[in-house]
Amino acid sequence: MRVLAVADVGRMILKGGSARVHEPLAARFAPGDRVIAKNVNPVGHTRLPRYVRGRRGVVARDHGVFVFPDTHAAGLGRKPQHVYSVRFAARDLWGPDASPRDAIYVDLWDDYLDPEGDR
C-alpha cells in the first residue's frame, strides 16, 4: 500500500487524473442528433440522473471518450465510450410552468442514450 508522502502532495494534486481515454472510438451521435435518455434503474453506481430518464434531448457537443463509471465502479472494466452534452428543454422535463427558453445540459455516456424514434 502506497502512502502519500508530504513531498508528493503538490505534484499529485497539480497533475490530476483524467478519466479521458485516448482511443479513437467512433461516435454514435453527433451534435444536433435527437436522442432519448434510457429509462433504466440500475441498482449499482450510475451517473444517469433520474430526472432525464425517458426524456428527449438534443446532442449539443461531444466531449470525447471517457471511462464508463457504471462498469468501472463495479470492477467490471473501463468500457470507454463517448460522453455527450445533451440539451433538454426545461419544459420537456418540468412541464408548462417552466420557462419556454430555458434548458438543462447533462453530460451523458453513450450507453445511456438511444436515438429518437427507436422505441
- The residues that touch another protein, with contacts defined as CB under 8 A, are 1, 3-6, 8-10, 13-20, 47, 49, 51, 63, 66, 83, 85, 90, 93-94, 99, 101-109
Q: Please identify, using beta-carbon distances, which residue of 33 and 70 lies nearer to another protein.
A: 70
Q: Please identify, using beta-carbon distances, which residue of 36 and 68 lies nearer to another protein.
A: 68
* Side-chain-side CA neighbours of residue 103 (13 Å): 13
For the beta carbon of residue 110, count every other beta carbon within 10 angstroms.
Answer: 20
How far apart are CB 91 and another protein at their closest, in Å?
Answer: 12
Beta strands 113-115 and 81-89, pairing class: unpaired
Q: Please identify, using beta-carbon distances, which residue of 35 and 106 lies nearer to another protein.
A: 106
How far apart are CB 103 and another protein at their closest, in Å?
Answer: 5
Give the C-alpha separation, 22 to 50, whole Å.
29
DSSP summary character for residue 20: B
How far apart are CB 28 and another protein at their closest, in Å?
Answer: 16
Q: Give the dihedral of Cα atoms 52, 87, 115, 118; nearest 10 deg.
A: 50
